[in-house]
Amino acid sequence: MSGKLKRKGIDNEDDDIVIESPFVDPSDPVAAFLPKSFGKQAVARSAPQHDKMKRADNPNSLSGPKDTNILPQGDNKGNDNAGPSHKDSDSDDDDDDSDDYSDDEEEFPTTHELVIKDHTKSVTSISLDPSGMRMLTSSHDSLLKLYDFTGMASNHLHSFKTIEPRDGHLLHHAEFSTSGENILVIPSCAQAKVFDRDGYEVVEFVKGDQYLRDMNNTKGHVSEILSGTWHPTDKNLLVTCGSDSTVRIWDVNQKRQQKEVIVVKSRTAKGGRTRVMCVKWDDPSQGGKKLLAAGAQDGGLTLWGGDGPFNRPMAAVEGAHEKEVGVSSVAFSKDGNLMISRGLDGTVKSWDTRKFKKPIMTRTDLPTTSQNTTVSFSPDSSSVLTSDSAGNLHFLSPATLRSEKTVPITPSSPVIATLWHPRLNQIFTTSSDATVKILYSPTKSTRGALTILSNPLKKRHIDDDPSLTTDIATGMNADAIYLPNAVLPTKTKSLAQANANANAYKPFKPHTTPFAKSTPDEEHIRKNVALSGMRDEDPREALLRYADKAKNDPMFTGAWRETQPVTIYSNERDEEEEEEQDRGKRQKRY
C-alpha cells in the first residue's frame, strides 16, 4: 500500500495537487478495513422502511371532485364565469392520469405517511417549533404531549413529556411561539397558560370578575376561552378570544391584567354577547399588512389594525357565515391581501382584505363537525389546506377554491387540524380518532419523519415485558411476603435445601399476643388479659372506693394512730372578716 502526492504541470503557473488514493488489491483482507472516503459519512436511509410507510391510495382517487359547489361572488352572473370548467375528455384525461399523479408527488409531499397514536380522545391541535425538531399536540383527554423527533424511533412513537395543564379540562388549542421558546395552551376555562419548550409552566393569566357586566373593566376573561395565537413578530405578545364576547391581547411578562381588551358586539337579533371562536394575526414579516381578524359564532368576521387602535374595527362583515353556527378558523396569505375563512356551516370563503365586503369565492360542500377545524395556507400560499367530516384532506386553489387534490386521511373519522411546515416540507394532520399522521416525501421532505425512521430502533426494557411483571391491580395475597432482593432457589437444589434457604430470608415472626388475634371479643379479653377492665374505669371512683377502709384500718400509719397529733388548721377567713369590720368602724368614727 502506498500513497503519495503528485504535482502536475510543474512548469505551468497553475499547479494542481492531486491526491492519489491508496492502492490495495481487492483480494487483500486489509481492504475491508480501509475507508472508501474521508470525513463524516451520512447514514443511508432504509428504503424498505420507507416502502412500509408508502400510502396505498389509488392515484385516480386522489384528484379533486369534478362537480364542486363553487359560487363566485360579485358582479358575475350565471355559470359561465364560475371558474375553470371540468369537461370530461375521453382519451386525453385517461392518458394524462399518470403524469398528473407524478406532478402531484412533486408538488404535495403526500406519498408516505407516519401514524402516531399517543392520545385517547380527539386531537384538537398540532404545532411545531420553527426548527421543526419538536412537536406538540393537545387533545380532549386533557393532556398536552411534547415530542422530540431526535429521540423517537419507528418502534417508539411516544412523547417525552405529558402535561395536564388543568385537571379535568379538555384542551382547545396549543401553539409554539414564533421563537420556539414558549407554548400557549388554551384549556376549556377562563385562564390561558404559557409553558416553556420543556413543559414547565411560565405564567397563568388572571381570571376576570364574572359579576361585572362591562367587559372593558375586567382584567381577564370571565368565561371559557376558545382559541388564541402568538404575535408573529413580538415573542412576548399573544391574543386570546372566548365566549365572553371579547378578544384580549396579553403580555407574557404581565399576568395580572391584559394589555388590550376588544369587545365584540353580537350581530344577532338577540344582541348581547357572542362566542368569539377564532382569532388570527397577519404576519408582517412575510409582507403582510399587520391585520388582526376574528370570527364569531354569530357568523361575523371582523378586522382590526394589528398595532391598534382597537376601539373601532377597520372592517366588519355581518353574516359572513351562517348564524348560530360560527367560524372555526381564518388564515391570511403571505401578502395579506387574501383571507380564507372556514365555517361550521360547511363552507370555505375567500376574502379580499382591501375590499372587505363580499367574499370572492365560496365553497359549500365541505361539512365539518368540530369547532377546532382549521384552514391554513401552504408555505408559498399557492394552496389552501382544510379538511371535512369524511376524513379527507383537501388542497384548494386560493383563486377558485377548487380541489387540486384530495387525500383520504381517516375515512371513518373527521380530520380536525392541518399544518404544512415550511422547513420540513411535511404535512401534519389530527383526527377525532386520536391519531396524528405525518405526510411526507422521501425525496422532497427533510428531517421530521425522516429523522424518526433513520434513528436506530429502541431497545425494549425488561419492564416492558408483561410476562415478567406483576399486575398490582389484580391484588396481592395478604399472607404473601415479597422480597425484591431475595436469592431464590434454583431447580437443581433439593427441596429441603431450598426451603432452608427460603426460611433464612424470612422476617422474624413476633410472638402471638391476645391483641394480635383478629377481632377478639370482650369476654376473651376480660378473662385472659390482666387489668383489662381498668381501661374503661374512672380512676377517681376507683380510689374513693377504698377511702373508708384506709381510714378505719390504715396499713402504713397504724403505728402512730394513738400518738399522731390532731391537725389544727388556722381560720384565716375569720381573721380577715374581723379586720374588715374594724376598718368599717374606724371609718364611721371619722
Domain boundaries along the sequence of the chain: 102-459
pLDDT of the residue at 101: 41
Where is average pLDDT lowest: 109-118, 328-337, 572-581?
Answer: 572-581
Cell for 492? Answer: 437443581
Residue linked to cell 358582479: 75
Summary mean pLDDT of the chain: 80
pLDDT of the residue at 198: 92
Distance between CA atoms of residues 165 and 173, nearest Å: 12
pLDDT of the residue at 250: 95
On the question of pLDDT at 462 being above 90, the answer is: no
Question: Which has more pLDDT, 13 or 27?
Answer: 27
Alpha helices for 56-161 (secondary structure H): 92-95, 97-107
Residues 61-67, mean pLDDT to the nearest whole number: 46
On the question of pLDDT at 314 being above 50, the answer is: yes
pLDDT of the residue at 1: 42
Model's pTM, two decimal places? 0.68
pLDDT of the residue at 502: 61
Whether a cis peptide bond, with omega within 30° of 0, leads into 309 is: yes
Reported as a pLDDT band with limits 50, 70 and 90, residue 51 is confident
pLDDT of the residue at 543: 85
Residue linked to cell 422502511: 49
**Residues sharing a CB contact under 8 Å with residue 49, sequence separation 6 or more, in sequence order:** 154, 453
Per DSSP, which regions of 73-157 are E strands? 112-116, 123-128, 134-139, 144-148
Predicted confidence (pLDDT) per residue in 239-288, tens digit: 999 999 999 999 999 998 999 999 998 877 566 789 999 999 998 887 77
pLDDT of the residue at 434: 94
Q: Is the dihedral of CA 188, 192, 197, 199 positive or negative?
A: negative
DSSP character at residue 265: P
Whether a cis peptide bond, with omega within 30° of 0, leads into 442 is: no
Predicted confidence (pLDDT) per residue in 203-230, tens digit: 999 999 989 989 999 999 999 999 999 9
* 102-459 placed in CATH 2.130.10.10: yes
Distance between CA atoms of residues 275 and 240, nearest Å: 12
On the question of pLDDT at 34 being above 90, the answer is: no
Q: Contact 431/416 with Cβ under 8 angstroms?
A: yes
On the question of pLDDT at 566 being above 60, the answer is: yes
Which of these, 164, 160, 137, 163, lies nearest to 148 by C-alpha position?
160
On the question of pLDDT at 7 being above 50, the answer is: no
Distance between CA atoms of residues 262 and 265, nearest Å: 10
Q: Contact 122/460 with Cβ under 8 angstroms?
A: no
Strand partners, 384: 377, 396
Reported as a pLDDT band with limits 50, 70 and 90, residue 536 is confident
Reported as a pLDDT band with limits 50, 70 and 90, residue 554 is confident
Residues 538-566, mean pLDDT to the nearest whole number: 80
Where is average pLDDT lowest: 508-517, 518-527, 575-584?
Answer: 508-517
Residues 105-122, mean pLDDT to the nearest whole number: 89
Predicted confidence (pLDDT) per residue in 480-502, tens digit: 666 666 555 554 445 566 666 66
Predicted confidence (pLDDT) per residue in 78-94, tens digit: 333 344 334 343 444 44
